[in-house]
Amino acid sequence: MDLTKADLRPYVDYEVSGVMPIKGKFGFRVTLIYEDLSKRECQHSGFLKKAEAEKARDCVIAQLHDKRYVAHRNVKVEELLKYWLEYEMRPRQGFTANSYATYKNCIEKHINPSIGKLKLQALNQGHIMKMFNHLVKKYPSMLKVAKPVLNTAIEFAVSKNLVTQNPCEGITLPKGTKKNDYHVLVVNETRTYNLEQVKRLLKASKNTKIHMQLVFALLMGLRRGEINGLKYSDVDFERHKLRIDRQLGEDLHADPDSIAPNTKTKQEIPPKTQSSCRELDIPDYVYQAILEERSKYEKNRSRRQNGRWVFQDLDYICCSSYGRPRSKHYHFVHYKKLLEDLGLPHIRFHDLRSTYATLLMKNDVNQKAVASALGHSSSIITVDVYTDKQVIIEDGAEEIQSFIDEVHPYDEEDVRRLKNIFGFDLKLET
C-alpha cells in the first residue's frame, strides 16, 4: 500500500450500516466523514454468522467513538517505516543527514528483512523480540537504533489510526545488550594517542593539507564537520576565542536544484546539538597556526584573481588554495599516509577528539569542563581509569596549554602578522 496516497486525516464523524449479506456471507460498511465533508467507505465482511458480524460491528463502533478506528488495515511494517522516515522525520528541523542515513540503514538492512513484510495489524511482541534476539547476537550496536526507530514509527502509526496499539510498549532489551547510562560519553584510551604521539603527528603534518584539521581536532577537540565549517570571522583575535555555531554537511532540507555541483556535503548546517554551539579559548599553538593559515589564504586570494578558477573568498579556515571548503572525507588519504609514515597505530579521525579528552582528564580537568569543550555539556565522560578526578577547573583550555607550549608557544611575531593581515595592532601577553 502506498501511504503517500492514503488519506491519513482524522475523521470528524462516521456512519455505520447495519449487518447485511455480502457475497454469500455477512458484513457491514463504515463511512468516515472528514472536515471538508468528503467521505471514505470501509467494508467489513466475511463473517459466517450474522451474530459474529453484529459483535464485530459493536467493537468497530466503540473504536470509532474513541477515535481509534483503523481505516487502512493492510499497511505493512516496511511501508510504515518508509513513510515515517521520509515524510515524518526527514522534514523535521534538526534531523541531520547522519541520523537519516543511520535510520535508513537500520530499517533496510535489519528491520525490514525480519518483520518488514508483516502487516501492522499482525505485528506482535513475539515478532519484535525474535528480531531483537537476532540483533543482540549479530549486530548488538544496531539494537539501540532499531528499538527507538521501531517504537517511534509505530507511535506515529497509532496517532494516525494505522494501528490501535504499539506492540513495542513494555518490551525490554534482551540479555547481553550493553547498556550505557544516559548522556555518558565513553572514551576508550586504547583508541587514543599519548602526548608524545600527538607532538609527532602535529610536527609531521605541518606541511600537509590537513594540518589545520589535525590542530583543531587534537588541540581543541572539534568534530570533523565543525572544523570544515570554521571561518576566520569565528575567531575573536583580541580575546583569543573561537565561536562554534555551524558545521559543513548535507542539508536534508535544502532544495536539490539550489545546490551547486559537488557541494552536496558542503552545506552550512547547524551544529550537532544545542550544546555544540559554544565559545572556546584558543590555545597559543592553535592561534599561531590560524595566523599562518590566514597568511596563506591572503596570498592565494591575491594571486588567483584571474584565470579559469577564480578564488572563492568564502572565509573558510580549512579550504583549498582556491578558497573552496573541504569535503567530509577529504582528510582520509592524507591522514592515513601520515600515520603510515610515522608508524603510528591507526585510529579514526573522530577518535582524535577522544585523545583531546584523555589528555585533559589526565591533567585533572573535571568532567563537566571537558564535556563542555567537546560540545557535550550534559555528558558524563568516562576515560578508563581517569574517572575519579575531582578537581574543579572552569577552563579546560588553560590546563592543556602547558603541553601545547612545549610544541610551539606564540611570540611577538603574532603582532606583526595581525597588523599585516587585518590592519590593526594587538597587544599580546607574553
- Give 200-238 pLDDT, tens digit per residue: 999 999 999 999 999 999 999 899 999 999 999 999 999
Contact residues for 319 (Cβ-Cβ < 8 A; gap 6+): 297, 325, 326
Which cell goes with 96?
A: 541531520
CB atoms within 10 A of CB 49: 10
Angle made by CA atoms 350, 268, 101, in degrees to the nearest 5 = 55
**pLDDT higher than 90, residue 116:** yes
3-class secondary-structure state, position 72: coil
Q: What CATH number has the domain spanning 187-422? A: 1.10.443.10
- Model's pTM, two decimal places? 0.71
Q: What CATH number has the domain spanning 77-159? A: 1.10.150
CA 373 from chain centre, in angstroms, equals 18
Q: Give the chain's end-to-end CA distance (angstroms, integer).
A: 71
- CA dist 205 and 211 (Å) reads 5
Comparing 23-27, 185-189, 304-308, the range with the smallest average pLDDT is 185-189
Domain boundaries, the chain: 3-65, 77-159, 187-422
What confidence tens digit (pLDDT) does each residue in 72-84 have?
999 999 999 999 9
